[in-house]
A and B are shown apart, each in its own frame.
Chain A
Amino acid sequence: MVSPMLFIIAPLAAAFLMIFINRRGAALALSLLTPAGLAILGVSWLPATLVRAQPIVVASIKAPLGIPLSLDALGAGMAILVAVSSVLIVLYSSSYIHRGHHEVRYYAVVMILLTSAFGLVLTRDIFNLFVFFEILCISSYILVSWEQSGAALEASFKYMVLGSIGSTFLLVSIALAYKAAGSLAMADIAVAFDSAPRGYVIMAAVTFLFGVGVEAAIFPVNSWLPDAHSSAPSSISAILSGFVIELALVVTFRVLNTVFAAVDVLPLLQIIAIAGVLVGEFSAFGQKDLKRMLAYSSISQIGIMLFALSLGSTAGAQAGLSHLLMHAGAKSALFLIAGYFILRTGSRLIDDYTGLGYRMPVSAALFGLAALSLVGAPPLFGFFTKFQILAAAAATGGGLAWFGIASILSGTVLEAVYLFRVIRVLFAQPAERSRVEMDLPALVSVALFTALVVFGALLLPSLSSMIGPIADGLATLH
């Protein structure tokens, strides 16, 4: 079998090769083929990882002297999701991104973002985690500022300031952990924290949460997100909302749940998650700018996922991960379609899309489907995942869980109201009827994302045999 190290090496090598060749065609081919190959690699490793995690030794040096990596079922699952999403998003970018002399650099930065995404799920070393986290942040800043408009630069700068503060917090947490354990391997730190003073571990856990939490868009440290996700090019919004924040969330949660297992952070996470759901939905409700609305909706959806994961039950973790899959498909599709709405009308405001549904019928229909799934309308994928989360919360019981259920349900009502408002505007009587449908590559990409959220429910039975080991990855460090 091919080494899982390829997840980190291949996109990085592709990025270097693009800069070396410096041709648009080569860059596009490389950035389509690399993630496609990695998706196949992920699928080929999935059966083995479902049985047990596959440790990877770097430089023939084992931990604690070297850097331990490992591919477990959760890692393989996330890797497949990231790889498939990025193939589709690159396909979309091929017609969406403005052709210019920077196009090669765009694909190179996307590939580097992929390297860091794969690295984050593979690494079992807390400093290596920091390095990949930095790469993820820096490539995101660049991609957010891509259009170089005033708003994009401002958003990117805000993001950079918050991201840098987050990195500092993360570094503080790593220093505390290294001090206690004398090793950077997560497994060693987990053991050391078991016997360390409680206050010390709490301090390390909280600094870690708010350090990585910036990238995972966890409630109080996510103020960068609405600006960044709305002023980035739509393909980048789809990457950031589609899998980057989800991935960061999973990684954050896994580390908190294993390395910092000595302190019970779950109630704190539940409170943060519920606050995120409410703040996100109420803010999204008031938005007039479509992409800002979707960005706020991402904040609330991250809250829903975090709530499910932090229930602490197996059912909750499984439901949270299914919801993650659904959100990745739905939110990517919505952002990608919103990108063409903006391209065709030249406006970000929902009110300017009056009657666009008649001019771009396929896009508008796909938008409607993805939006319905996000809200949780049966029989779409979103209904089942949201239902599973609510059922898991009800099974857990307790005041916080019921408050969470109430928040998610009321959030859903708000979500339905603001998304239907968009759909109503789309199908209002148009001023003109000339057809301006999306370009073909973009349409294919969006259709595949939407297919995931429409037919995702059919995947659930086959997913149920896999979701167990995948969800176990959240509680183990193998």
Chain B
Amino acid sequence: MRKLTGLLLMGGFVLYLVALVPGMFAPETPVSLESIGKDIIATTERVSGSANVVTAIVVQYRGLDTLGEVTVLFVSALGVAILASGFKDNVFKTMFAADDGGFVLQYGGRFLMPFIVLIGVYIIAHGHLSPGGGFPGGVLIATAVFIVILTGESVKIPHRLLSLLEGAAGLGFIGLGALGFLGADQSFLANTLPKGEFMTLFSAGFIPFIYAMVGIKVASELTTVVAVLTQAPHHDTAKEEGRP
């Protein structure tokens, strides 16, 4: 039975791939598909002021999807935090707490941390110029914390500060988007800030600011996830469970 299901799924997948081969079964690639790409490249500079077309698409052309993706991450991180608080036993905790990484690793980790954060900030700040942006930059910053935890150092994570940052960055994203309501079209996420000089650091209107918000949000959320997974069950929750 299981083999049959597997075979059917494989068959379906092959059929799907075949369907996407041009001319086999699928309609030919329509003209509009080519024109959309060209239209976006042609209008990027005027509409967004961003030298990086991918960033322009992510933050401006499909900014609502990006807000959605930020929300997906936010709600997933919330879910992990809620689930982790219910852990009775945690493999991650024993894995990290059991052995101290040793002097060399700990100092190496601490030494690396500021550099990784710096690269993360650089990637976020240059999202509108070069590949990168808020998501990878934010992940890098969270990695810096993770490396320190990996070395076996006991890190005190400021949970309240992280949730403050998380909430503030989310509100900031929405606030920057709402600036669009002040523009001529009164349209959410319209880029109404001054565009600056093309191809320079201070350009692209609100795109760097949005990416900064995304960066802060991703960094604080992933740090929270890493922290709750490696440190759960918390002492305070353990105490609460002990209560009658």
Contact = CB atoms under 8 A, between A and B. Distances in A.
Given A3-B188, A182-B32, A132 B68 contact: yes
A179 B26 contact: yes
Contact of B32 (A12, A60, A64): A64
A148 interface: yes
Contacts of B153: none
Contacts, number: 179
Contact of A66 (B62, B74, B83, B240): B62
A61 B61 contact: yes
Interface stretch (B107-115, B120-128, B135-143, B167-175): B167-175
Contacts of A200: 19, 25-27
B61 A59 contact: yes
A67 interface: yes
B36 A183 contact: yes
Contact of A102 (B15, B30, B82): B82
A182 B65 CA distance: 18
B69 interface: yes
A182 B68 contact: no
Given A17-B167, A112-B74, A142-B79, A58 B27 contact: no
Given A59-B63, A112-B74, A148-B86, A180 B170 contact: no
B71 interface: yes
Interface residues of A, number: 64
B20 interface: yes
Contacts of B33: 178, 181-183
Interface in B170-189: 170-171, 174, 177-178, 180-181, 183-189
Contacts of B183: 60
Interface string B24-58: 01110111111110011001000100000000000
Contact of A59 (B81, B178, B189): B189
A286 B116 CA distance: 60
B170 A141 contact: no
A135 B16 CA distance: 26
B36 A66 contact: no
A127 interface: yes
A16 interface: yes
B78 A108 contact: yes
Interface residues of B, number: 63
Contacts of B86: 148
A65 B171 contact: no
Contact of B68 (A22, A131, A188): A131
Interface in A46-97: 56-61, 64-67, 69
B83 A145 contact: yes
B167 A9 contact: no
B190 A60 contact: yes
Interface in A173-189: 175-176, 178-183, 188
Contact of A127 (B65, B174, B186, B190): B65
A401 B157 CA distance: 62
B95 interface: no
B76 A138 contact: yes
B133 to A, nearest CB: 17
Given A127-B65, A131-B69, A180-B26, 9 more contacts: A9-B188, A15-B74, A105-B81, A115-B71, A131-B72, A145-B83, A176-B26, A182-B35, A197-B25
27 contacts: A3-B181, A12-B71, A18-B167, A57-B187, A58-B63, A58-B187, A59-B61, A59-B64, A59-B188, A102-B85, A109-B75, A116-B71, A128-B65, A131-B72, A138-B72, A142-B75, A142-B78, A146-B82, A180-B27, A181-B30, A181-B32, A182-B32, A183-B36, A197-B27, A199-B25, A200-B19, A200-B27
Counting from the closest, the 6 A-B pairs by CB-CB distance are A182-B33, A20-B167, A16-B170, A131-B68, A60-B190, A142-B79
